[in-house]
Chain A
């Protein structure tokens, strides 16, 4: 048999020579390798997502609890200025009572170290309580006040005893006090509601998100009030009324372009036009909402247009058939049917706006404010910019706060997306 016929037979599928089966095996192995690479890539991405979420929960979880110290405070009328409760010497009242827990401490340095166990913000907590209930003046009351950040960290096990003393901020002396107070049962670690109810503060143990949540709410409200009507109107015009000409082409191109412009450029626009040209106040949720609405607009327009497209022509024709005008067809029949789709798009657009940070930084919506903004023109911060500020803070307690704030933000995002999904499932119909 000649070599030539051998070669021909080797190529046949029926042949089981070594060379051929080796080749087939190699080709199948290559296929399996490819499959493995694909799975590996997906696994890598999912793993990273897991690490991201896991590390946030791990480091943020503890910020949902706060170490507090129970002791009795004598609200000494002598130290209170009844005409101006707000400016009375609350620090002295709290500290004097607190130092009664340390009868054997007398030199100033130790006194300062012992006083450092309590949060520097603790006097304000007492102040607010007494101002809301002036009856307490002159009484001796049991209070539960936040511990300082190092003690909080120590209590939660973030700072451990086995680190050499010169490398941790909690000294051996303080640990000894801590152990004594712990034995007296003075420490508790309840749920930290002040994370939600308080505004920002310089002290991590006192800082909360309510100012940021209010600011984000106002900005999103403005964003919704502008982008929803404008988005729906322009989608309806482009989809239902617009003639096909240069002008409408230009609008289309512009909308697609806007969707791709980097967010920081919108910040520059807001800075140059809204702040500098129109002289609107810096840091105001009004300006933030206006900038965000320009970014959300393309999302809403695109979603609404596809919802309008999905309404079948038979509905329009039936309405025309009974004599409705073009506007009546659109307003009475098409828009109501397309509304769920438009709403879904709007919620998704607002969710994106909620997480947007860079443009807000440029227009100054990263103000440090210790009370909630009272209106659209007040200096304010927003959730993502609050996260940015906290992430920059050197105090250790802010690491946990930042993670917790991120978890709150992601919680809002997930619930908004859930609402969008539910809307879609509940109202979307197949024609």
Chain B
């Protein structure tokens, strides 16, 4: 039904454009659009915008509220005996059964009351859809008549159109703020619900993470263990290994590309390194599982080391490969920002290239390099797919890179796949982890950008 609503809006707005334009031409003092305040097209656009936009906003609001409203209606209409003595979870189950029957998927022999409810659910949706269509048509046509009647020779249509466009652009710019607010509020809101059940200090400082335990409400110790320290440590361990791989490789390649390489070599190699950043992370995850993990295991067997199939080493090393281009291009930028005069001065004193790099360029570019490293760390902490596929699922309090550890992002994904009951601490725990992740990466990014910016001011 909503397709028809959108279609109707587009058609009526287009009609509004032509009606407005022709009306403007008709009322123009010298005829054929001459002597108007604005060009005729602006009158058309003015009518079209006033016809289309308010109704479009109305439809979007309607569509986003219709589902919840009908759900409330449904819940209120369910007969008492169906709900008597049932908990929140069971009621949710009944509601989802009604919805699936309403969608035409009937399993087994449902209750008479449930079938009736499904029928009225469908009926309400039909009524709401029809009502929306009627409101859209009435609103659009009303706006069309109203705005068209305002058109006169002296009417400042261009100013009107430009004002609307400005507000539209401002609204689009605000989307970024709304997104950030949405992230912060959804994380905070769900986390508060989580901390209402699991104490804050237990989450931040507990040493035992076993969120998968709680299944039934009546179970003894129905709460899982939500001590997130092992998860945090696992994240840090994997990010550390990743930096151990990516740091030296990225920095050394940046040094070579910035200082030694011929322009042709640089032009050929830089894009190749950048390919590494463009490969989807799910591919790295598969690469880790398919190639790197068995290879490392065989190597471990050869030298008598016991390496777990999901070791932190594998996940970290592959993640390191992924962030090499990140570090190399940021360090490259930092080197490029060092003025040539400083290099020339160093060579003038008789220093070799490597001496210049070590004692002039690196100290001068250090803030930029450090900033780049911090950005890479935040990337590594937030990276999901590689660790979901290659790291472990079970929280393990260890610093041994050959053992399996788990990370914040792995836990978020495993807690939320296939389970979106919003009242179990298990699901809410994922949001608490998300809050920690968001805060940590945000702080790292702010610090990194501060460092990079401060450094830049030096030479400008």
Contacts and interface: CB of A to CB of B under 8 A. Distances in A.
A238 interface: yes
Contacts of A366: 417
Given A41-B248, A361-B417, A272 B384 contact: no
B133 interface: no
A294 B186 CA distance: 15
B176 A51 contact: no
Interface string A242-284: 1000001011001111101111111111011101111110100
Nearest to A257: B180
Contacts, number: 264
A298 B172 CA distance: 12
Contact of A265 (B172, B173, B290, B438): B438
B233 to A, nearest CB: 18
A358 B409 contact: yes
Interface stretch (B121-129, B146-154, B429-437): B429-437
A268 B285 CA distance: 21
Interface string A21-37: 00000011011011101
Interface string A42-65: 101110110110011001000000
A148 interface: no
A271 B420 contact: yes
Interface string A387-427: 11001000000010011001001100100010000000000
B286 A234 contact: no
Interface SS majority for chain B: helix
A350 interface: no
Interface in B55-75: 64, 67-68, 71
B158 to A, nearest CB: 7
B260 interface: yes
Contact of B286 (A280, A298, A362, A387): A387
Contacts of B355: 27, 30-31
A229 B168 CA distance: 10
A160 interface: no
A391 B285 contact: yes
A39 B266 CA distance: 11
Contacts of B168: 233
Nearest to A252: B176
Given A327-B162, A362-B413, A254 B176 contact: yes
Contact of A355 (B166, B170, B272, B280): B280
A291 B120 CA distance: 32
Contacts of B158: 325
Given A237-B170, A325-B162, A410-B283, A361 B413 contact: yes
A292 interface: no
A374 to B, nearest CB: 13
Interface stretch (B18-26, B207-215, B218-226, B249-257): B249-257
Contacts of A76: none
B96 to A, nearest CB: 11
B206 to A, nearest CB: 22
B200 interface: no
A257 B252 contact: no
Nearest to B295: A51
B172 A268 contact: no
A2 to B, nearest CB: 26
B389 A257 contact: no
Interface string B375-389: 100100111110011
Interface in B147-182: 158, 161-162, 165-166, 168-170, 172-177, 179-180, 182
B309 to A, nearest CB: 14
B183 to A, nearest CB: 5
B237 to A, nearest CB: 18
B169 A262 contact: no
A273 B68 CA distance: 13
Contacts of B67: 278-280
B180 A233 contact: no
A107 B248 CA distance: 65
Interface residues of A, number: 92
B288 to A, nearest CB: 10
Interface in B334-358: 350, 352-355, 357-358
A45 B279 CA distance: 14
Contact of A327 (B165, B255, B275): B165
A241 B71 CA distance: 43
Residue of A234, A265, A391 ringed by the most chain B CB atoms within 10 A: A265
B422 interface: yes
Nearest to A281: B67
A388 B173 contact: no
A371 to B, nearest CB: 15
Interface in B347-402: 350, 352-355, 357-358, 375, 378, 381-385, 388-389
A351 B280 CA distance: 10
Contacts of A42: 252-253, 256-257, 269, 273
A230 interface: yes
Contacts of A27: 352, 354-355
Interface string B99-118: 00000000000000000000
B354 A30 contact: yes
A236 interface: yes
A403 B416 CA distance: 26
B287 A268 contact: no
Contacts of A51: 291
Contacts of B388: 358, 361, 388
Contacts of B187: 265, 268, 272
A49 B272 contact: yes
B360 to A, nearest CB: 13
30 contacts: A13-B350, A27-B355, A30-B352, A31-B352, A33-B354, A35-B354, A41-B248, A42-B252, A48-B321, A234-B169, A234-B172, A234-B173, A237-B170, A241-B166, A250-B177, A254-B176, A257-B445, A262-B438, A265-B434, A269-B186, A277-B68, A278-B64, A278-B68, A280-B67, A282-B420, A294-B175, A297-B179, A362-B416, A388-B282, A406-B282
Given A262-B381, A264-B413, 13 more contacts: A30-B354, A34-B354, A44-B249, A45-B249, A48-B276, A254-B180, A256-B449, A258-B176, A260-B378, A278-B68, A297-B176, A297-B179, A388-B385
Interface of A: 13, 27-28, 30-31, 33-35, 37-42, 44-46, 48-49, 51-52, 55-56, 59, 229-231, 233-234, 236-238, 241-242, 248, 250-251, 254-258, 260-269, 271-273, 275-280, 282, 294, 297-298, 301, 325-327, 351, 354-358, 361-362, 364, 366, 384-385, 387-388, 391, 399, 402-403, 406, 409-410, 413, 417
